[in-house]
Chains A and B, each alone.
Chain A
Amino acid sequence: METEFTPWMSLAGGVLIGISAVLLMMFNGRIAGMTGIMTGIIPPFSTDWPWRIAFLAGAVIGPVVFLAAGGAIPYAVPVSLPLLALGGLIVGVGVYYGAGCTSGHGVCGMARLSPRSIAATITFMIFTGLTVYVVRHIAEI
């Protein structure tokens, strides 16, 4: 399935992600990593769960408001439900042990030149690329 090359929208989205990461550090002193924020509200809750719930609720509601205001969000899922569930399970295990994901390691950690985050990001980018290659061009699922 082809998708349209959208450098300007993607750049604008990236800048917004960055602004959000900077503001979360400035106000809450926290890394804007989805793995870390989310893990704190999976029982047993961390003691500072309220801001985490607020951030996650905002992250869900933000795009909904944008859509309601007439904005467009291209969205297509070329993956079957069983594979989405399998991928989700694997992602959950991976980000727990890797202590972060694209937002935590890939954006916040890389931005402060953390060696751990740079190592993690290089690793998951390589493995994601390899997996996509295997799924699409070898297994042809």
Chain B
Amino acid sequence: MQKFIVSALIGAIFGLGIAISGMANPAKVLNFFDVAGSWDPSLIFVMGGALITTAIGYLVVFGARKKPVFDADFHLPINKTIDARLIGGSAVFGIGWGIAGFCPGGAIPALGFGGLPVIAFVGAMIIGIVLARSIDGLRHKPAKAF
């Protein structure tokens, strides 16, 4: 129960950060990438603020603790290979992000205030994940990437 409540609070901080940063605002996100048009460089500050905070915070956490509060281990990705799957998937993700202006982390916090556009995006995104996972599952056992 404690873990559930703490997780919800951490999620709320994430959602609030996304919302005030502009990452949940497709107009702003698309303008960040539209260097040749109505460019809005704000998202550099989102990435910068998030990256520096996370990099320093991770160093502190990994330095100060042998394990997380609610778990036996830190779950860090073990896959180290840069392959066609990673690069291809990331390229496809970029195409979708460029079309819609929403990324997964930007869209979920918008669900409470963003109306039909974000619901349509998230619905289709879930279908995309399910589709990819079943196609992938036909070829070999699903990746345990997470």
Taking beta carbons and an 8 Å cutoff, which residues of A are in contact with B? 1-36, 38-40, 42, 46, 50-52, 54-67, 71, 73-79, 81, 83-103, 105-112, 114-116, 119-121, 123-137
Contacts and interface: CB of A to CB of B under 8 A. Distances in A.
Interface of B: 3-28, 30-31, 33-38, 40-55, 57-58, 60-61, 65, 67-71, 73-77, 79-82, 85-114, 116-118, 120-133, 136, 143, 145-146
28 contacts: A3-B38, A3-B42, A10-B21, A10-B22, A11-B49, A14-B49, A17-B21, A26-B68, A30-B68, A30-B75, A34-B104, A58-B15, A73-B19, A78-B101, A79-B26, A79-B99, A89-B128, A91-B100, A92-B124, A95-B125, A99-B146, A100-B145, A105-B90, A106-B47, A123-B87, A126-B94, A131-B97, A135-B99
Classify the secondary structure of A's interface with B: helix
Contacts, number: 510
B28 A3 contact: yes
A93 B20 contact: no
In the complex, which of the residues A18, A30, A85 has the most CB atoms of chain B within 10 Å of its own CB atom? A18
A59 B108 CA distance: 7
A58 to B, nearest CB: 3
Contacts of A125: 94
